[in-house]
Amino acid sequence: MSSPALCPKCGRETPSGARFCPGCGFDLFDRRPRLATGLLPANQLLNNRYLVEQKLAQGGQSAVYLVMDMRDGNSQRAVKEMSESNLGPSERDKAIRDFIREAEMLRQLRHPALAKVYDRFVDGQKHYLVMEYVRGHNLEDELIETGRPLEWQRVIAWGVALCDVLHYLHTQNPPIIYRDLKPANVMLQPDGAIKLIDFGIARWLRSTQSHDTAQLGTDGYAPIEQYTARSETRSDLYALGASLYHLLTGRVPESAPMRMAGSALTPIREINPSVPEPVQQVVLRALSVQARDRFAGAPQLREALEWAGAGDRQVGEHVRVTTGAARATRMAGSGPPVHLTAIGRTTAQSLAPRLHVWPLRLDAGFMEPNEAAELRLEIANRGGGQLAGRTETNMHCLTVEPAALHPGVAALNVTIDTSGLLAGPYTCHIAVRTNGGDQIIPVRFIVRSPMPGAGTPAPYAR
């Protein structure tokens, strides 16, 4: 009788035919070492199909890369890499199950305001999800870039569009609760339409399931019932109300537990008097602490938002832009498309340059000592005329090319060089200063400790 197979990494007995070790998650078919999340270099080929171009984002649970699909006409895709760092065996199993569940959930959905999912695979002992690459930036970055509360007409239009998406999710069989609606998870595309992204903690609402598997969400956006792991469809309406509040005021609303403890929610019009009273009433009702006091469903909230904006032509125009029905036209010398239905721009304003930088933050993740990494910033003129200026950095380890901006520059190449840096986290800054405004971009990375025997780099002042 043959002896049982043992995992070469942890020595645990593995079931016959199993691909992954039940103890440490080691890929028994692929013996290559597992890299930390977010360290895939440019030009690496994943799954013999997806060519990595650059890293787009990184968080605690995953990293997202822009890739080229070599089998589908060199189409650009976004690939999400699952993080398994600092996870025990049971936590790793759950993380993998959740990752697969997200892929299965998204593959079933077809809505113009949801990013499509194309594929799921394992490569180098890491799990990956292939998604539609959504161009643009999220609503939180739009708020940061603008530097003040956003026009209420735009916010209402986004709210109407998000009601449509939530209604679609809530009417699936079984219903899907998103559970983490916030401006950072809503992408604003160049044509003005929006897309909801990141379904990492969404769940199916099953009649036999009395509560969530975990209490998840984001403080300020999560309703009180989500803290006790009992979310429902009206929980998403609270999160939508909190998102609208944030965009209208520039502030995240007080968290639900703080409000339950007696902390009052500051009225919107005390912060931004330009918001009409009916709009404030609708958003505050969506933010009711008790679910029974909110709107019955997404259609009712949409109807209330449309009522609040009734009579304002700009709201109706912007709804058409948000739902992707409006056409964009390119004005001579203006760079990216400018919408005919854009709000609040006079002819005189449209002639002035307006700087647009994306993304508004860069994260290189973990870096080795004496390593160089290259990142990219997109530069555009959202106004008229010609954009010109310069770039500055506050640390010698950070360089930007070109240093001088002129109308033909569409991107900045950012290089981080860790030579001489001590191990630890770093936050640097890039200043883009132009005749169309200034933008400060934080750049974050972590230098790993050198391997034993590799020598210690010379100190560098942080």
Q: How far apart are CA 147 and CA 138, in angstroms?
A: 14
Kindly list the strands in the beta sheet with 194-196, ordered across the sheet, starting from the edge strand earlier in the chain. 137-138, 186-188, 194-196
Give the 3-state secondary structure of residue 90: helix
Residue type, 326: A
**Tokens encoding 308:** 């609040």
75: left (phi over 0), alpha (psi -120 to 50) or beta: beta
**Is 180 in the active site?**
yes
What does the DSSP assignment read for 329-378?
Answer: EPPTT--S-EETT-SS--HHHHTS--EEEE-S-EEEEEE-TT-EEEEEEE
CA dihedral 240, 103, 143, 336 (to 10 degrees): -130
Give the 3-state secondary structure of residue 209: coil
Q: How far apart are CA 256 and CA 273, in angstroms?
A: 24
Q: Is the peptide bond preceding residue 190 cis, with omega within 30 degrees of 0?
A: no
DSSP annotation of 119 reads E
Contact between 38 and 58 under an 8 Å Cβ cutoff? The reply is yes
What does the DSSP assignment read for 270-317?
Answer: HH-TTS-HHHHHHHHHHT-SSGGGS-SSHHHHHHHHHHHTTT-HHHHH
Which residue among the candidates 69, 123, 141, 180 is catalytic per the annotation? 180
Contact between 412 and 377 under an 8 Å Cβ cutoff? The reply is yes
Q: Is the peptide bond preceding residue 359 cis, with omega within 30 degrees of 0?
A: yes
Give the 3-state secondary structure of residue 434: strand
Residues 6+ apart with CB under 8 A from 461: none
CA geometry: angle at 115 spanning 128 and 51, to 5°?
40
> Which residues are marked as active site?
180
